[in-house]
Structure 1
Amino acid sequence: MAAANGKGADLADTLRAIALNCTLKASGESSTDAMIAVLRDAFAKVDVTLTETVRIAAHDVKPGVTSDEGEGDDWPAIREKILAHDILIFGGPIWMGQIGSIAKRVLERMDAFISETDDEGRMPSYGKVAVAAIVGNEDGAHWSSAQLFQSLNDTGWTIPPVAACYWVGEAMGSTDFKDLPDTPDKVTKTAAMTATNAAHLARLLKANPLPGAE
């Protein structure tokens, strides 16, 4: 097994991550993408490959709480991609002091996991790790991560220590994270700890799956 810092890991130790960008924008430059990129670089240093970023607003993810809401619903294919990875980077912006509506729709669709258990009561997300990438120009990062982590825990994800990498600008300010000339040192350090802890936990869970209960 790889060391906690990822050094000396061989191919068998390499983990795969997928990111969800829950920006409200269907296209164009996004501060959430910029924060996901910071985590991508941090994860690469601990032998975790970010294979894809899915921008939810660019897809037709229908409202609902099942894994398939019928014709035209893009969620089943996205769900399949998410569950094929070891780590989920859940990215989203703060709006009105809380995580944005697109992120909440994703959480609502994951509610279906609760009724999709195996014979030991394990949801499809059991043994998989989730972290958050949050950006905004107002207070609310802690409240947004609390919303995400409680919902992700309820739907079977495992949350490591230091699981949220975030940046908030001046309240009612006009500077976005994507417009900063350099990534703040504190953000870089937090991303490194987030990635290290998530990778370590994901490897432990992969080697020793959660047992469930009959």
Structure 2
Amino acid sequence: MKAIILLATLKNKGRSNTETLVEFLGGYLTKQKIDFEVVKLANHNIVPGTYTHMDVEDDWPAIYQKILDAEILLFATPIWWNSHSSELQRCIERLDEVYDVIQAGEDSPLDGKIGAAIITGDSDGAEHVTGNIANFLCSLGVTFAPYGSLGVIWEGHGKNVEKTKEECLQYYTENYEQDAQALAESLFKLAK
């Protein structure tokens, strides 16, 4: 069983809170025997557009193939101004061609896949972002998992707050262990 995690942090260098939360969840995915690959979007050239293949070469077609090859699709994003990151928005726009296929009366290439959201922020907004992601995935034929959001809203995620990776992992373990376990178990059961 394979999951692809689109990590939509804005940081292409150094550690981000969202990346640390993905690592935290990864331990629970491994316990459920779910293999996963993390694609850090900020490290890839993804041009703007609404098709899989654009007029210029970029990394999106290879990333899209990884999505097709996986049973589970996870969007991992920080919250910026009550919304998901611009890195994730670009992927959503590039996945628009899947919706074109559905509108043409054909089956979605993503039909039967399981989806979920991983969200970090320092104030409210996780429910709003989860709702947007769930709506988008469901519109493409992806089943949004029960317990399908691991959202950590914590002042320790503040833009100018410096928490070490260890401090973040300790906080996640103390406060979100049950949520991470429930999400991993739900993904396994649905994908099985």
Alignment TM-score > 0.5, same fold: yes
1:101 alignment partner in structure 2: 86
Report percent identity of matched pairs: 30
SS of 1:133's equivalent in the other structure is strand
Is structure 2 residue 81 aligned with structure 1 residue 92? Answer: no
Deviation at 1:59, TM superposition (A): 0.9
* Alignment partners' CA distance in 2, 1:54 and 1:200: 24
Which of the residues 53, 56, 66 maps onto 1:71? Answer: 56
Which of the residues 184, 189, 206 maps onto 2:178? Answer: 189
Contact 1:137 1:176 in 2 (8 A): no
Is structure 2 residue 130 aligned with structure 1 residue 141? Answer: no
Q: TM-score, normalised by structure 2?
A: 0.89
Is structure 2 residue 26 aligned with structure 1 residue 26? Answer: no
Deviation at 1:199, TM superposition (A): 1.1
Contact 1:113 1:155 in 2 (8 A): yes
Query: Which amino acid counterpart does residue 65 of structure 1 have in structure 2?
Result: T
- The 1:109/1:82 distance shift into structure 2, 3 A limit, reads same
Compare the two structures and name the one with the higher helix fraction.
2
Which digits, 9 at most, give the CA deviation of each residue in 1:145-203, with x for residues without a partner?
11111111112211111100011112994255844260243311101101111111111
Query: Which amino acid counterpart does residue 47 of structure 2 have in structure 1?
Result: K
Deviation at 1:115, TM superposition (A): 2.4
1:202 alignment partner in structure 2: 191
Query: Which amino acid counterpart does residue 30 of structure 1 have in structure 2?
Result: S
* Alignment partners' CA distance in 2, 1:195 and 1:172: 23
Query: Which amino acid counterpart does residue 199 of structure 1 have in structure 2?
Result: F
Is structure 2 residue 155 aligned with structure 1 residue 170? Answer: yes
Query: Which amino acid counterpart does residue 75 of structure 1 have in structure 2?
Result: W
Contact 2:118 2:150 in 1 (8 A): yes
Query: Which amino acid counterpart does residue 133 of structure 1 have in structure 2?
Result: I
Query: Which amino acid counterpart does residue 168 of structure 2 have in structure 1?
Result: L
* Alignment partners' CA distance in 2, 1:57 and 1:26: 5
Output aligned runs, 1:92-131, within 5 Å: 92-116=77-101, 121-131=106-116
* Alignment partners' CA distance in 2, 1:127 and 1:108: 21
Q: TM-score, normalised by structure 1?
A: 0.80
1:7 alignment partner in structure 2: none
* Alignment partners' CA distance in 1, 2:19 and 2:55: 29
1:45 alignment partner in structure 2: 31
CA-atom RMSD, angstroms? 2.0
Query: Which amino acid counterpart does residue 112 of structure 2 have in structure 1?
Result: G
Contact 1:39 1:191 in 2 (8 A): yes
Unaligned runs of 5+ in 1: 1-14, 204-214
* Alignment partners' CA distance in 1, 2:46 and 2:163: 26
CA radius of gyration, larger in: 1
Contact 2:10 2:42 in 1 (8 A): yes
Query: Which amino acid counterpart does residue 28 of structure 1 have in structure 2?
Result: G
* Alignment partners' CA distance in 2, 1:54 and 1:161: 23
Unaligned runs of 5+ in 2: none
* Alignment partners' CA distance in 2, 1:108 and 1:46: 31
